[in-house]
């Protein structure tokens, strides 16, 4: 394979200087400058020549180049319009890459998958700014976009949160939502010195492999997620009080207490002690 042109600090600096690029704090921009980490991401995503890949936040195109060598086609969605001329330059040798200058939350990804991949599941790869990680990942899952896997670089603590179970301090609504839709696996921890500029905190690459069938059967998954959010919004309260005080939940105090008892849970149990199966059981009982 031809060496990708970017991926080390000198080349990244040269590109940024050529275009007088200024980092935008509001977009949480931290560019990867470590070739080992780039290889790890592409390996973990298991990209082959059959694959259509959606990349979110290509930056100056460092990871995009690695993806383009391996994939059939890459579409990269970049919100920052000042990066578009840079991407035109750094990706000019790749005929299988196109760039869309848009906010990913406003892109119709299902339509893109239909046009580019005949509606078959696509692979998503991203180096995500932490402030928008959860809305992007949940949007991909909840909108039932056909996805094979999502391989993303995120804040280390967010990666930890996605894969933990009940009774731990990181366990919460994100853990349950991710595990309902996918199997999380942390590929690598990535220290701050692998980025430019250096973030203050560590990152991790996590791969979320979409379940073919969800691990629990629930009649109304929207209700289940309302119960989950309500029970974690007030972690210190019992499950019953968390649900009773929540504007998300329309059941009476009696109905909630009865449902908790019917499921065989203690009246003083807290939401953080419940597994995904328990929330599914409670949702099925209430609906």
Indicate the pLDDT class of residue 2, thresholds 50, 70 and 90: very low
Which position has the higher pLDDT, 49 or 13? Answer: 49
Average pLDDT over residues 38-45: 96
Which of 183, 210, 237 represents a domain boundary (last residue)? 210
Specify whether 177 is located in the same domain as 130: yes
In a domain, 132, yes or no: yes
Please check whether residue 273 lies inside any domain of the structure.
Answer: yes
Same domain, 239 and 270: yes
- CATH code: domain of residue 74: 3.40.50.150
Percent of the chain topping pLDDT 70: 98
Show which of 147, 182, 210 is a domain's final residue. 210
pLDDT digits (tens, 9 = 90+) for 191-245: 999 998 888 999 999 999 999 999 999 999 999 999 999 999 888 899 999 999 9
The mean pLDDT value for 261-265 works out to: 97
3-state secondary structure of 4: coil
201 and 274 share one domain: no
Over range 93-110, report the average pLDDT: 96
Section 242-267 average pLDDT: 95
Q: Are 206 and 249 in the same domain?
A: no
Same-domain check for residues 125 and 233: no
Give me the phi and psi of 168, to 5 degrees please. -105, 155
Residues 93 and 186 in one domain: yes
What was the pLDDT predicted at 3? 56
Predicted TM-score (pTM) of this structure: 0.91
> Residues 205, 264: one domain?
no
239 with 267, same domain: the answer is yes
Last residue of a domain, one of 210, 237, 262: 210
Q: Are residues 72 and 126 in the same domain?
A: yes
Q: Which domain holds residue 237?
A: 221-286
Same domain, 137 and 196: yes
- The reply to whether 199 falls in a domain is yes
Lowest mean pLDDT among 20-24, 53-57, 167-171, 176-180: 20-24
Count: domains in the chain: 2
Number of DSSP helices (H) and strands (E) in the chain, helices first: 12, 9
d(CA 268, CA 260) in angstroms, rounded, equals 10
Residue 4 falls inside a structural domain: no
Closest listed residue to residue 217, CA positions, set 279, 261, 165, 163: 279
pLDDT at res. 1? 40
User: Do 259 and 164 fall into the same domain?
Assistant: no
Residues 113 and 143: beta-carbon distance below 8 Å = no
Residue 17 in domain: yes
Q: How do residues 272-281 score in pLDDT, each as one tens digit?
A: 999 999 999 9
H or E stretch covering 153 = strand 147-155
CB 58 within 8 A of CB 78: yes
Phi-psi category of residue 59: left, alpha or beta, with phi > 0 → left and psi -120 to 50 → alpha: left
What's the whole-number mean pLDDT along residues 29-44?
93
115-119 contact pairs (CB < 8 A, 24+)? 116/52, 116/73, 116/75, 117/52, 117/146, 119/146
Asked if the structure places residue 246 within a domain, the reply is yes
* CATH code of the domain containing 269: 1.10.8.100
Same domain, 206 and 251: no
Q: Does 2 reside within a domain?
A: no
In degrees and rounded to multiples of 5, residue 99 shows phi and psi of -115, 135
DSSP code per residue over 199-225: PSS-EEEEEEEEPSS-SS--S-HHHHH
C-beta separation of 227 from 243 below 8 A: yes
How many other C-beta atoms lie within 10 A of the C-beta of residue 198? 12
In a domain, 3, yes or no: no
Rounded to whole angstroms, the Cα distance separating 237 from 62 reads: 46
């Amino acid at each position: 394979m031809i060496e990708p042109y970017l991926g080390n600090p000198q080349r990244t600096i040269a590109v940024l200087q050529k275009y007088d690029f200024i980092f935008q704090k509001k977009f949480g921009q931290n560019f990867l400058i470590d070739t080992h980490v780039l290889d790890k991401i592409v390996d973990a995503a298991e990209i082959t020549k059959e694959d259509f890949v959606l990349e979110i936040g290509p930056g100056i195109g460092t990871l995009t180049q690695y993806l383009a060598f391996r994939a059939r086609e890459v579409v990269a969605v970049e919100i920052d319009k000042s990066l578009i001329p840079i991407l035109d330059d750094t990706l000019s040798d790749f005929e299988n890459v196109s760039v869309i200058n848009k906010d990913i939350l406003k892109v119709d990804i299902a339509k893109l998958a239909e046009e580019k991949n005949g509606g078959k599941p696509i692979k998503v790869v991203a180096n995500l700014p932490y402030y928008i990680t959860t809305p992007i990942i949940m949007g991909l899952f909840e909108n039932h976009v056909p996805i094979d896997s999502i391989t993303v670089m995120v804040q280390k603590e967010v990666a930890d949160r996605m894969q933990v179970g009940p009774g731990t301090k990181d366990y919460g609504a994100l853990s349950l939502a991710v595990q309902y839709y996918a199997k999380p696996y942390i590929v690598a921890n990535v220290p701050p010195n692998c980025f430019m500029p250096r973030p203050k905190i560590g990152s991790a690459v996590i791969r979320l492999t979409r379940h073919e069938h969800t691990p629990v059967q629930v009649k109304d998954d929207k209700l289940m997620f309302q119960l989950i959010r309500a029970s974690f919004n007030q972690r210190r309260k019992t499950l019953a009080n968390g649900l009773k005080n929540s504007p998300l939940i329309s059941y009476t105090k009696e109905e909630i207490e009865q449902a908790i008892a019917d499921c065989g849970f203690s009246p003083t149990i807290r939401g953080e002690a419940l597994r995904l199966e328990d929330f599914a059981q409670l949702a099925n009982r209430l609906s």
